[in-house]
Amino acid sequence: MPSLLEPIENFNLPSEVIRVLRSRGIRYFTPPQAEALRRGVLEFKNMLVTAPTASGKTLIAELALANAYLRGMKVIYATPLKTLASEKYEEFSLWYDIGVKVGISTGDFDEPGEWLGRYDVVVATYERLDSIFRLKPRWLRDVGVIIIDEFHTIGDTDRGPIVELLAVRALREGKQLIGLSATVGNPGELAEWLNAELVVSDWRPVRLIEGYYNKRKKKIFFEDGREEEVSGSLLDYVAVRALRENYQVLIFRQSRSRAEETAKKLTRLMPESLGYYDLVEKLKSRGAPNSEVSALAQLFRRGISFHHAGLSFASRRTIEEGFRAGFLRVVVATPTLAAGINMPARRVIIYTRRYESGYMKPISIAEYKQMAGRAGRPQYDPYGEAVVADARSEEEGWRYVKGVPEDVKSALVNARAMRIHTLSLIASGYVANMRELMEVMESTLAFKQLASLLSDEAIEYTIDQLVSMEMVKIEREHLKATPLGSYVSKLYIDPLTALVIIDDLKKQQNVPNIYYLVLIAMTPDFERVRITKYRTLAEEMEAALDNGEIPEPRFGLDYYDLLRAYKAGRILHAWIEEVDEDQILERFGVGAGDLHNIVETASWLVYAASRVCHIYGLRQHSRRLNVLAHRVKHGVKEDALDLVRVRGIGRVRARILIMNNIRSLEDLAAADPLRISKLPTFGETLAREIVKEARELVRKTAT
């Protein structure tokens, strides 16, 4: 065992904790874990840990949560992604041996979540934790520790302001704050801002050797002085060598199309994989779209796959499991895979240019290092190798290899973030006047780094905006949220989203569903949803606009913004009319993962629109939007809404039941399970379960 690792017995840990660690085969602490313990992570000191992938940051969080539990406190663990939340939920559940009950919450932003009080540890996304702070459930006062994973996300323009205000609230409420981060350029500045102990480590369980490919010389130059001759194209050479020497490769391309093209080209070099049939069966059993099963099966046969956010969750999960099990030798991925997913490989090949605003631009060193961190499988590889594939010069290659990540900068000082979070602070009663608001803002990273942009005048401008939007009112120097502003904050939407909806619908009477769907897609909260290839719909969109079927663009939106919203509306309209999912994917050229994101975001925003219209007095629109929200959520026509209330019945099964004259909850409750079991996609077990639940729902309705 390397001398850098320290036996767990060297630390004064509770016997219960040592017992759990030993049961999991943990006998030693890594350097960052040992340093965190010495610096007081179990003494409730704030802490910022910056260390490479696989260095053991998660176990630091686990020790903190076990320590808090044993002292009668609750813990919240926040992550940026739902997939990461699910992964951490599974990991933390191993502490059930000492009585720790773990819950997870990643949605329902307007629901206080009082039921989460039954858990000792709550795993949540950033957004869900933010909504918990806004809604203040009773159990929040019992929380002693808040852990924020991927803390470097604070520099992200979208999620960064959320992370920043989460940290501010945690600190101001006296809770222990632990930030877990990849390596950043300014850890000292961040730790000083947080009043936190700083643990900085470059320790990795597997040594990382970085290098770059020189296309002219046909060589890979490594930082340890090695030079590797490349025969043929770089990717062909990398794949063949990995096959010959029996290790796995991750290739990071900066676009989905490049990832897919690269994976397909490499199939000609690879023999048939032994795990091919098992992986394809997993895809089918998990409900992956037929188009994905067909495309991926051809790649799986050769032990290759691509991986990106456009794939369904079922496909991404299967690819990740196949790679970890060794059935897939090569995976070509977009950078989304680098964001915390546990999929290391011996060798990682990284393309460093991304297409933005009409140009190919180099990615940051921080992004490169995040991907390079995937090199090296603990317990399997003697080392990991990361190679810059597209350096245009020796200088550029070494800049990535030897460079340090950029400083993390606050993203709070933009108009959208300011109006969202200022309203949140006022609506939740966290601040009552300008002085208190300024005190909060002065405790932000933004103020530390960019004080001039958070002046009294800048804050007053944001307040004036919220007053003009009817979200905030000023009474004798007191700041109060209006009923509308309070609702908007609880719904977790941008105040401008509410304004777009109200401003348009208060002038309308009867509009078709497509009108609502396009309007939702025009709001700022829909901007992060990926919609591409919409220009071909220009003529159709213009006709719909002339006929009044869709709204006029307002609030700075241009022609192409409307085109983008129109395509999103068309996709959603096909979804609620029960068009087959594979047909939607093919007709509109979207991925299953994109469709899921479109539906999930629209479901939330249509529901929010119904509540906004209700509070504003637009009751007719509110009622129709409420029905539409349920249709979007389930992807069904209105006549199927009753049936999809039953667990196990989705859009396909609901339509099968209706076609067989089972049209309501009462019909289902009265049905013979044997008859239902003989219908397509049903079986005996499911038939019994859905009839039983239907009867229970009918009984509850009657009482």
- Residue 404: is its pLDDT beyond 50? yes
Does the structure show a pLDDT above 60 at 504?
yes
Q: What confidence tens digit (pLDDT) does each residue in 213-241 have?
A: 999 999 999 999 999 999 999 999 999 99
Residue-wise pLDDT tens digits, 526-545: 998 999 999 999 999 999 99
Residue 89 lies inside a defined structural domain of this protein: yes
The mean pLDDT of 470-477, rounded to a whole number, is: 94
57 and 104 share a domain?
yes
Calculate mean pLDDT across residues 68-88: 94
**Domain co-membership, 223 together with 298:** yes
Instruction: For residue 456, give both structure tokens.
Output: 């009294």
Mean pLDDT computed over 76-104:
94
Whole-angstrom distance, CA of residue 83 vs CA of residue 64? 22
Of 607, 635, 663, the residue at which a domain comes to its end is 635
Residues 228 and 312 placed together within one structural domain of the fold: yes
pLDDT at 701: 84
Residue range 633-647: mean pLDDT, rounded: 96
Contacts of residue 263, defined as CB under 8 A and 6 or more positions apart, other chains included, come to: 299, 304, 305, 306, 330, 331, 332
Question: What is the mean pLDDT of the segment spanning 318-333?
Answer: 94
407 occurs within a structural domain: no
Q: What is the DSSP letter of 183?
A: -
Q: Which residue reads 């209105």 in tokens?
A: 638
pLDDT at 240 (0 to 100): 95
Give the E-state strand segments of 342-434 in sequence order.
Answer: 347-350, 353-356, 359-362, 383-388
Interstrand relation of 6-7 and 28-29 (parallel, antiparallel or unpaired): antiparallel
In a domain, 409, yes or no: no
CB 329 within 8 A of CB 304: yes
Q: Are residues 213 and 359 in the same domain?
A: yes
Q: Which amino acid is at 691?
A: V
Domain boundary (380, 402, 424) is at: 402
Which whole number is the average pLDDT over 175-196?
96
Q: Give the pLDDT mean for 500-520.
A: 96
Lowest mean pLDDT among 107-111, 123-127, 277-281, 346-350: 107-111
Residue 356 has pLDDT above 70, yes or no: yes
User: Taking the C-alpha atoms of 641, 643, 646 and 648 in order, what is their torsion angle to the nearest 10 degrees?
Assistant: -100
Distance from C-alpha of 144 to C-alpha of 664, rounded to nearest angstrom: 47
Residues 137 and 239 reside in one and the same domain: no
Does 621 score more than 50 pLDDT? Answer: yes
Q: How far apart are CA 432 and CA 580, in angstroms?
A: 51
| Residue 298 half-sphere exposure toward CB, CA atoms < 13 A | 12
At residue 112, the pLDDT reads: 85
What pLDDT does 340 receive?
Answer: 61
Angle ∠(610,551,489) on CA atoms, nearest 5: 35
Residue 3 pLDDT exceeds 70? no
* CATH code, 448: 1.10.10.10
Identify whether 489 is part of a domain.
Answer: no
Distance between CA atoms of 397 and 372, rounded to whole angstroms?
13
Tally the domains of the chain: 5
Q: Please report the pLDDT score of residue 276 as a whole number.
A: 84
Smallest Cα–Cα separation from 74: which of 140, 169, 165, 163? 140
**Could you tell me if residue 1 is inside a domain?**
no
Average pLDDT, the chain: 94
Percent of the chain past pLDDT 90, that is, above it, reads: 88
Residues 595 and 502 in one domain: yes
Mean pLDDT of 670-688: 94
Other CB atoms within 10 Å distance of the CB of residue 539 = 8
As a whole number of angstroms, the distance between CA 204 and CA 184 comes to: 16
Number of H helices, E strands in the chain: 30, 21
CATH of the domain at 664: 1.10.150.20
Q: What is the mean pLDDT of residues 112-116?
A: 92
State residue 1's pLDDT score: 41
Same-domain status, 453 and 583: no
The enclosing domain of 331 has a CATH number of 3.40.50.300
Domain that holds residue 665: 643-702
What is the rounded average pLDDT of the residues 676-682?
94
Burial code (b: 16+ CB inside 10 Å, e: under 16) for 207-243 equals ebbbbbbbeeeebbbbeeeeeeebeeebbebbbeebb
Does the residue 56 lie in any domain?
A: yes
Averaged pLDDT for residues 46-63: 94
- Computed on alpha carbons and rounded to an integer, the radius of gyration of the chain in Å comes to 27
* Segment 426-467, tens digit of pLDDT: 999 999 999 999 999 999 999 999 888 888 888 999 999 999
Above 90 in pLDDT, residue 193?
yes
| In a shared domain, residues 394 and 512 | no
Determine, yes or no, domain membership for 410.
no
Whether pLDDT at 363 is above 60: yes
- pTM of the complete model: 0.92
Same structural domain, 241 and 380: yes
Question: Angle at the Cα of 393 (from 388 to 399), degrees rounded to 5?
Answer: 60
673 inside domain: yes
For residues 152 and 397, give the distance between their C-alpha atoms in angstroms, rounded to a whole number.
24
pLDDT of residue 679: 95
Q: What is the pLDDT of residue 274?
A: 76
Say whether both 122 and 265 belong to one domain.
no
26 and 170: one domain? yes
Residues 73 and 216 in one domain: no
Using 50, 70 and 90 to split pLDDT, how confident is the model at 611?
A: very high
d(CA 590, CA 582): 10
Out of 601, 635, 669, pick the residue that ends a domain. 635
